[in-house]
Structures are given as C-alpha cells and as structure tokens.
Amino acid sequence: AQKVTQAQTEISVVEKEDVTLDCVYETRDTTYYLFWYKQPPSGELVFLIRRNSFDEQNEISGRYSWNFQKSTSSFNFTITASQVVDSAVYFCALSGGTGGFKTIFGAGTRLFVKA
Amino acid sequence: DTGVSQNPRHKITKRGQNVTFRCDPISEHNRLYWYRQTLGQGPEFLTYFQNEAQLEKSRLLSDRFSAERPKGSFSTLEIQRTEQGDSAMYLCASSLDRDRDGYFGPGTRLLVL
C-alpha cells in the first residue's frame, strides 16, 4: 500500500526565516512520481514540483528547493527567506502503480509566515 | 492547452437535493480522476476512468455518488440526496493513459446546508 506522511501539522515562522517541510513516503512501486502542491485559502491546488523515482537530483527554483532521498524515502521541501505570501497549506503527494496518476496525498502542513 | 476545467466552481445546496458537477480534462488525456477534499484533510481518491470505462472506485464513493464519462471526454459526478457531510471540495484531474504524471483542475466547492 502507498502512504505519504507529513508529520508537521502546522509550522509558524517569522518572515525571512528558512523553513523545511518534511515528507516521508511508502511505496512498493519502482516507478512513481512525487509532488508538492500549495493550497492557498482559495482552495485551488497550485502545482510546485514533480519528481520521478529515477531522478534523485535536488532542485532549486528561486526560494524553493527540494531534497529527494530514496534511501530514506523522503522528499523534503525548503523555503528560503520565507514571505507572508508563502502562508498556505502544502501537500506532498505520490502516484504510481497501475493506477497511473491515482495520487495519494499527505495530510498537509499548514505554514504561517508572520510579518 | 487550456488545462483541466471544472464547473461550477461553487455550489450551495440544501440537504436532500441532488447536485451534478462537470469536469473537462485536457483534450488528449484519456484518464480522468475524481477526488474529494474535506476541511483540514488532503484530497482523497474517489474514482477514475480510462476513456469511458470506470476502472476503480474507492470505498468513499457511496451509493449516492455516481460518476460517468459517456464519450470518454468530459465527466460528471452526481451526488443524490446530499448530506451535510458531503460538503467538500471536489477535484478532478487528468492524465495520459498510464502516465503517473497529470494535472488537477481548480475544484468545485460544495456546501450542503
């Protein structure tokens, strides 16, 4: 069975602090994708990144960076120099197996960035 | 490519009424997925189609829920005799065949009074 665990329910930081959101996953598939989505109060899922299981290269996009480690089944997300606009719920997700894009989501981490 | 679209974006209904939502996937995508997200939770898988065939249904999809994709293009999700517990965001996603990558629509937010 597939599972995604986001152990941090809520995180509160002060603007300009760096913050890391943790994600641990379980799967028996050898081919899978990992995702991070941002969900602002409007409710729409905003896609941030996808990573396939064969690409363990870390990625940086502006203030965002992702650390994918298959050895520990983790796909952590770091925001550098956080801003108030980063306040949202962030979901880590996993797809794989015969279900194609059938996606399992973590419970989400609510990030509060205070000015 | 206009992305996945969903209509309506918001729906308020009274308990006991029937509601229907529509999802239009990305045009060349033959797989379509429905998810439900209740307050404070992550989205949960409901069902998916490959073309017009419904290949999997979650246990979350009670008898009051029915999904169709009659021509393998757009899909509808109907909830009969709505209950307050059905209040949620209903998300649709689409992908190419068995591709494990895909795209989500903006969702339909349902409020049952």
Give residue for tokens 């940086």. A60
State pLDDT tens for residues A49-102: 999 898 888 888 899 999 999 999 999 999 999 999 999 999 999 998 777 788
Q: Which residues of B touch A (CB under 8 A)?
A: 31, 33, 35, 41-45, 48, 56, 89, 91, 93-95, 97-104, 106-107, 109
What is the arithmetic mean of pLDDT over A20-36?
A: 94
The percentage of residues in chain A with a pLDDT greater than 90, rounded to a whole number, is 70
Long-range contacts of B57-65 (CB under 8 A, 24+ apart): B60/B36
What is the arithmetic mean of pLDDT over B70-98?
A: 93
Name the average pLDDT for chain B. 93
State pLDDT tens for residues B28-50: 899 999 999 999 899 999 999 99
In DSSP terms, which residues pair with A35 in a beta bridge? Answer: A50, A93
pLDDT of res. A64: 95
**Residues on chain A touching B101 (C-beta within 8 angstroms):** 33, 50, 52, 95, 101
**Distance (Å, rounded) from C-alpha A31 to C-alpha B99?**
10
| CA nearest to A33 within chain B | B100
DSSP string, A20-79: EE--EEE---SSEEEEEEEE-TT-PPEEEEEEETT----EEETTEEEEEEGGGTEEEEEE
The percentage of residues in chain B with a pLDDT greater than 90, rounded to a whole number, is 82
**Residues on chain B touching A32 (C-beta within 8 angstroms):** 100
- DSSP label at residue B84: G
How does residue A43 score in pLDDT terms, banded at 50, 70 and 90?
confident
| CA nearest to A90 within chain B | B42
**Residues on chain B touching A93 (C-beta within 8 angstroms):** 42
**Residues on chain B touching A4 (C-beta within 8 angstroms):** 42
Helix (H, G, I), strand (E, B) or coil at B101: coil
Cβ of A103 and B109 within 8 Å?
no
- A49-65 b/e (C-beta count within 10 Å ≥ 16 → b): bbbebeeeeeeeeeebb
pLDDT of res. B2: 76
CB-count exposure of residue A85 (10 Å: 0-12, 13-18, 19+): exposed
Q: pLDDT at residue B1 above 80?
A: no
**Residues on chain A touching B31 (C-beta within 8 angstroms):** 100-101
Residue B47 · residue B57 · CB < 8 Å: yes
Choose among A40, A23, A32, A33: nearest CA to A78.
Answer: A23
The percentage of residues in chain A with a pLDDT greater than 70, rounded to a whole number, is 99
- Least confident stretch, A19-23, A41-45, A91-95, B24-28: A41-45
Choose among A115, A103, A93: nearest CA to A37.
Answer: A93
What is the arithmetic mean of pLDDT over B74-101?
A: 91
Q: Which residue of A9, A45, A98, A104 to mutate against B (max B Cβ within 10 Å)? A: A45
Q: Which residue of B5, B37, B45, B100 to mutate against A (max A Cβ within 10 Å)? A: B100
Cα–Cα separations (whole angstroms), residue A1 to A26, A90, A95, A111, B84: 8, 23, 12, 28, 30
User: Which residues, at least 6 apart from A22, have a Cβ–Cβ distance to it below 8 Å?
Assistant: A6, A7, A8, A74, A76, A109
pLDDT of res. A41: 86
Choose among B33, B49, B51, B16: nearest CA to B90.
Answer: B33
